[in-house]
Chain A
Amino acid sequence: MNSLVLIVVAIIAFIVAYLTYGKWLADKFGLDPTRPTPAHTMADGVDYVPAKAPVLLGHHFASIAGAAPIVGPIAAATFGWIPAYLWIVFGGIFLGAVHDFGSLVASIRHKGKSIGVVINDTMGKTGKLLFNIFAWLTLILIIAVFAIIIAKTFVATPQAGTASLLFMVIAVFFGYGVTRKNLPMLVSTIIGVALLFVAIWLGIKFPLNLSFNTWVTLEMIYVFVASVIPVWVLLQPRDYLNSFLLYALIAGSVIGLFLYHPAIQMTAYAGFKVGTNYLFPVLFVTIACGALSGFHSLVSSGTTSKQLDKETDARIIGYGGMLIESLLAVVALITAIMLAPDVYKQIMTTGGGAVPVFASGIATFLATMGIPLATGKVFASLVVSAFALTSLDTATRLGRYILQELFESASNKDAKGETISSLNSYVATIITIIPGAYLAYSGQGMAIWPIFGAANQLLAAFALLTVSVWLTKSGKSSLFTQIPMYFIFSVTLTALALFSINNFKAGHASLAMMAVVLFILAIVLAVFAFQALKKPSNSSQTNAKA
């Protein structure tokens, strides 16, 4: 079969779903274009600002897209392309987009409050403590898994290692120029983006051949520095330049895919059991962000809900935004399934893993537009590793904040009378990095990835639970959020139990322990969340009228 069929069918399915199921959901949520949103009722021009739908869709999509929707589908292709494709398409339509859409609508009906804050506020002191431990462990997994992905990418494509280091230098100069020297934005951007291509060229000329462990060590040093320096120095400018890379990657890969339209060589269905993994539940946690991602609820309810101009815009931004991400996941899947099974297996096991698979595929697509293969490969590797590096930075920072909060005590106060942590930021950062580094040195990226996916999906389950309870309390039907919630709870809990057993058997004791702890925390948190959220609400957050 030709891959063009897959992409065209996916596009048609997403458009039809948006026009039918998306509209049905909007009716169920009771969206009313005349009802003022928090962006209007609380407009302050700072956090709460009404933004036009295309503007907000751009912000929202740039915030939810990244490396994860690319890595997951490629790793899941091992089960065969049919199950992976069906999960991306149907998962995106009936779970992921519903989750993002629901989180956004629930947040606008709760004065733009973040789902994370609502969950935190609702679960009481012990629940909050457990949730923070759960979040911290998840962040350690993220540090480990993205460090492995980046290191393996740079070992397989050393040109991308050079280009990424140069990208950081460019980002620092860009940030300094724009923030401190107040240089014109667009001119600086054009120069910055042009320099990125110079970095790619230099990368091809001067590849940096280092071992996996050396790259991991360099990453850990980097992440320590990057997560304690002010965000304007590196994180913000790189995030800004990343968005251009992302748009270029998506546009180039979709056009290139249509021009190249490779035949599918991968097995359609590899069986219910592949190696030690079962299709249920492993497929559903391996592809997280391309089909359903709990972290999207934090974006939907974080900044997006505060800028929604009209309630009805939530459909295109929440539901539509996720479907675009699912489309990116389909493109990523195609880069894997266009390969012969033995080639795919070789790259996944000894050739650097998911990112080199993706980079080779994208390079082939871009070659149809006259871009040399080597350039295309370094470009795609650079884009994915840039996103993965941003994930590393942000995960380490968040881990540090959460750890510091865990070590706050009422007796330890500053001059203003506010409680402070007994851990300073450097110590908290080091404590967060060490377990991440320990797991990263194991190199077991594909063993860690689904555990991270399961933790991510659990967050989605909590968000869906919150939305379901809000709908029920508002006297509305919530089956369309409850069914995905029960499904994803069963998927993640089964997956964590399975990973505990598999990792014990494989001798990965630390990973097995991590899965056990996450499993126990997930059960306890689920009980806390069900009890707390189903209690008659005494909080304005949960009894707001729909």
Chain B
Amino acid sequence: MVTACCVPLDGQFIRELGKEDLFSAKQLETKSAGELYRELREEFPDQVEVIMVDPRNPLYLIPKLTKETFNNKISFFQALKTIFLYRTPAVICDGELLSSGQKVFDQSLLDTIRKKVVKSE
């Protein structure tokens, strides 16, 4: 959605009106993220917490990334990479930047997350 009070341009509403897919590029990204999201929810319903954040929310995102890198003892340079160099869409797990600027759902990425979950248990 793009909006400035008072005219929300809601992608889904436009689609429901039967018009063009206004945010098609973003839609591809979110669909790919959705695949990963569903896989993780199904495989690790209680072990993994998945948070999807719109990059327009820096007030939440930047402190959260900083806290995650600090709590998980990520190396200084890796932490800088996580906070400053992520490209959208990005997948960040326990403060570590796993995927950045690529199609989100990827089998090798899922395997990496699986290994991290097993390791943390």
Interface residues in chain A, defined as those with a beta carbon under 8 Å from any beta carbon in chain B: 43-47, 49, 51-52, 54-55, 58-59, 62-69, 114, 116-117, 139, 142, 178-179, 182-187, 189, 231-232, 235-236, 239-240, 242-244, 247, 288-289, 293, 295-296, 298-299, 302-303, 325, 386-388, 390-391, 394-395, 397-398, 401, 404-405, 418-419, 456
Q: CB distance B5 to A295 under 8 Å?
A: yes
Q: CB distance A55 to B16 under 8 Å?
A: no
Q: CB distance A178 to B88 under 8 Å?
A: yes
Given A46-B31, A117-B16, A295-B7, do A63 and B52 touch, yes or no (CB 8 Å)?
A: no
Given A186-B58, A236-B23, output 7 extra A-B contacts at Cβ < 8 Å: A44-B34, A62-B57, A68-B6, A298-B8, A387-B5, A391-B6, A394-B7
Is B87 in the interface zone, CB < 8 Å from A?
A: yes
Residues of B within 8 A of A298 (CB): 8, 10, 13
Is B83 in the interface zone, CB < 8 Å from A?
A: yes
Question: Chain A interface mostly helix, strand, loop or mixed?
Answer: helix
Closest CB of chain A to B73's CB: distance in Å?
A: 21
Closest CB of chain A to B34's CB: distance in Å?
A: 3
Q: CB distance A303 to B12 under 8 Å?
A: yes
Is B93 in the interface zone, CB < 8 Å from A?
A: no
Q: CB distance B6 to A456 under 8 Å?
A: yes
Residues of A within 8 A of B83 (CB): 186
Is B71 in the interface zone, CB < 8 Å from A?
A: no
Q: Could you list 11 examples of A-B contacts with CB < 8 Å? A: A47-B12, A47-B30, A51-B51, A66-B6, A186-B84, A187-B85, A288-B6, A298-B10, A303-B12, A394-B8, A456-B6
Closest CB of chain A to B72's CB: distance in Å?
A: 19
Which of B10, B34, B100, B101 meets A114, CB within 8 Å?
B10
Which of B23, B41, B58 meets A43, CB within 8 Å?
B41
Residues of B within 8 A of A142 (CB): 6-7
Kindly count the residue-residue contacts between A and B in the assembled complex, taking CB atoms under 8 Å apart.
178
Closest CB of chain A to B9's CB: distance in Å?
A: 4
Residues of B within 8 A of A185 (CB): 55, 86-88, 90
Beta-carbon nearest neighbor of B49 in chain A: A52
Closest CB of chain B to A397's CB: distance in Å?
A: 6
Complex Cα–Cα for A235 and B14 (A): 16
Q: CB distance A66 to B56 under 8 Å?
A: no
Beta-carbon nearest neighbor of A232 in chain B: B25
Is B108 in the interface zone, CB < 8 Å from A?
A: no
